[in-house]
Amino acid sequence: MFYAGHDDEAMAGLRETIEAEPNFWIAHNNLGRVYIRRGMFPEAIAELERATELSSGSNEPITQLGYAFAKSGRRDQAQATLRELQSRAIEKFVPSYSFAMIHNGVGEKEKALRELERSCREREVQITFIKIDSRWDELRPILASRILCGASASSDERFHETTRVLRGILGS
């Protein structure tokens, strides 16, 4: 329901899930994402903080919380979340996509694009959502343009591989 844009149905289903399984962090995480899209930032942050508490250290709710902070205008907290993820990355894997998401939220387009390109090179599963996740609507044309215009200009084999994979994902 979320990716189809059916927010009311998604919220109802997620609330039902949380009522049945209050400690299911993924439901809290996804409800927070719906709230972000609806501009319900206090509710989103509350759900994402709960998801973070319940997730046993998953990067996913931390990433979404950083994005929620960014979109709600709490830039300092979004930047603190980025620093937290950078610190975690010293000891465990943190997807480049996570960094891209928060940079996207605070409006740092170039940093977001660089992290997306790295996410693609690293073959992170999250990159497959770029075509359907509305949070990337603004950057998707820029990324597609770079792919279409830059591929022939670069002699870097990694760039050509990234271009090939992103073309497949974006359908360019």
User: pLDDT for 47-58, tens place per residue?
Assistant: 999 999 999 999
pLDDT at 102 over 50: yes
In sequence order, what are the residues at sequence separation of 6 or more whose Cβ sits closer than 8 angstroms to the Cβ of residue 113? 100, 139, 142, 143, 146
The structure tokens 């830039």 sit at: 75
Q: What is the dihedral of CA 6, 71, 62, 24, to 10 degrees?
A: -30
| Mean of the per-residue pLDDT values of the chain | 88
What does pTM read for this prediction?
0.85
Radius of gyration of the chain (CA): 17
User: For residue 111, what are the CA distances in angstroms to 104, 135, 161?
Assistant: 8, 15, 20
pLDDT in tens, 113-166: 889 888 888 888 888 888 888 898 888 888 777 665 544 444 455 555 666 666
At 38, list the tokens. Answer: 């609806």
Q: pLDDT band for position 99 (50/70/90)?
A: very high
Mean pLDDT check: name the lowest of 84-88, 94-98, 131-135, 164-168: 164-168
Ordered structural domains, the chain, with CATH: 1-94 (1.25.40.10), 102-172 (no CATH)
Confidence of residue 90 (pLDDT cuts 50, 70, 90): very high
- As a whole number, mean pLDDT of residues 63-75 equals 98
As a whole number, mean pLDDT of residues 40-66 equals 97
- The Cα 31–Cα 47 span in angstroms is 7
pLDDT tops 70 at residue 169 = no
- pLDDT score for 127: 85
